[in-house]
């Protein structure tokens, strides 16, 4: 029987590691020399299979959930702080990549600001730093709803709160909420990946449209409302920056244009720019759909600290 935690998290970490060596490279550069497998060195001069802050923060969240048994915002911030300050949850005991908004939020927390008040709330605080790590929370809430009769409002409140630890603007929170609905649809529905993703988007729109205050922010995601139409966008119409809307669009576009895990993440990282995060965001969803056996084993085998990752995943 499939283990959704291993499917999703390995999908995320492998996608992240594929993108690390080419982060910040342009699409034009990668068209000339596309990524076809795990590379070494490159942008951050790291060995093959090295993962970045995307995986570190997701693993910190996962470890918090498995240790505490629930969503504990303070515990998560403590683990994020230990990652940032002491290199915990990293491949080699040091942080080589951290987003500006995340760094600022952790500094706020270190000054004594409450966890849910630490993240930036302005329109300029809409990088992809909470979307990249939200998968473990989505999986926890998916399983929790099966065991305990909880409302969607309660789940979305927690999704938004975990985003707010570093990214508290509603646009980033909605991106994480949409991702949650996509995760649920992949796991619950039958049929093609495109069909499942569309059902997830429909439910996300249905949920957020209930509150009139969300309507303006939902406009930022209007291209994703109809995925058959969105799919027709050429690659030139897909941005791969660190802006949260661009990242979610790029990840979904790659999923719609691929027929395997491998094809999805290679397409994602070859878009260029924020390659590790787009690889991680697309890879998490692709892992859930194609499952662990769909991820190239040679890529999993070269992940740094692979045994430790698998130990953490077995404990959830």
Which residues participate in the annotated binding site?
52-54, 274, 276-277
Is 200 within 8 Å of 224 (Cβ atoms)?
A: no
Per-residue three-class SS string for 253-287: HHHHCCCCHHHHHHHHHCCCCCHHHHHHHHHHHHH
Q: Which phi and psi angles does 271 have, rounded to 5°?
A: -70, -20
Q: How many Cβ atoms are within 10 Å of 58's Cβ, its own excluded? A: 25
CA-closest candidate to residue 129, choices 95, 94, 105, 150: 105
Dihedral angle computed from the Cα positions of residues 235, 221, 170 and 139, in that order, rounded to the nearest 10 degrees: -80
Report the run of H or E that residue 164 belongs to, with start and end.
Answer: helix 152-164
Structure tokens at 115: 């966890």
Cβ partners under 8 Å of residue 252, min gap 6: 182, 197, 224, 227, 230, 282
Tell me the binding residues for Mg(2+). 52-54, 274, 276-277
For residue 167, the 8-state DSSP code is B
């Amino acid at each position: 029987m499939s283990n959704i935690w291993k499917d999703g998290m390995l999908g995320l970490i492998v996608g992240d590691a594929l993108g690390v060596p080419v982060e910040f490279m342009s699409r034009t550069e990668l068209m000339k020399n596309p990524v076809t497998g795990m590379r070494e060195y490159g942008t951050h001069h790291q060995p093959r299979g090295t993962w970045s802050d995307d995986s570190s923060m997701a693993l910190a969240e996962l470890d918090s959930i498995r240790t505490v048994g629930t969503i504990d915002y303070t515990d998560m911030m403590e683990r994020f702080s230990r990652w940032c300050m002491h290199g915990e949850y990293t491949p080699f005991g040091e942080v080589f990549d951290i987003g500006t908004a995340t760094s600022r939020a952790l500094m706020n927390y270190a000054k004594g600001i409450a966890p849910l008040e630490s993240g930036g709330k302005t329109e300029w605080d809409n990088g992809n730093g909470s979307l990249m790590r939200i998968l473990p929370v989505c999986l926890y809430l998916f399983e929790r709803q099966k065991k305990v009769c909880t409302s969607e409002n309660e789940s979305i409140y927690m999704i938004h709160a975990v985003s707010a630890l570093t990214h508290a603007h509603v646009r980033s929170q909605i991106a994480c909420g949409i991702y949650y609905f996509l995760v649920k649809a992949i796991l619950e529905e039958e049929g093609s990946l495109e069909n499942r993703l569309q059902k997830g988007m429909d439910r996300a729109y249905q949920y957020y449209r209930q509150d009139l205050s969300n309507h303006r922010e939902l406009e930022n995601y209007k291209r994703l409302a109809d995925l058959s139409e969105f799919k027709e966008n050429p690659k030139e119409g897909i941005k791969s920056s660190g802006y949260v809307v661009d990242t979610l669009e790029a990840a979904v576009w790659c999923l719609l244009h691929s027929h395997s895990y491998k094809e999805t993440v290679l397409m994602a990282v070859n878009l260029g720019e924020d390659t590790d995060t787009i690889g991680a965001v697309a890879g998490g969803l692709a892992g859930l759909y194609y499952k662990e056996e769909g991820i190239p084993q040679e890529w999993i085998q070269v992940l740094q600290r692979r045994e430790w990752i698998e130990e953490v995943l077995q404990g959830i």
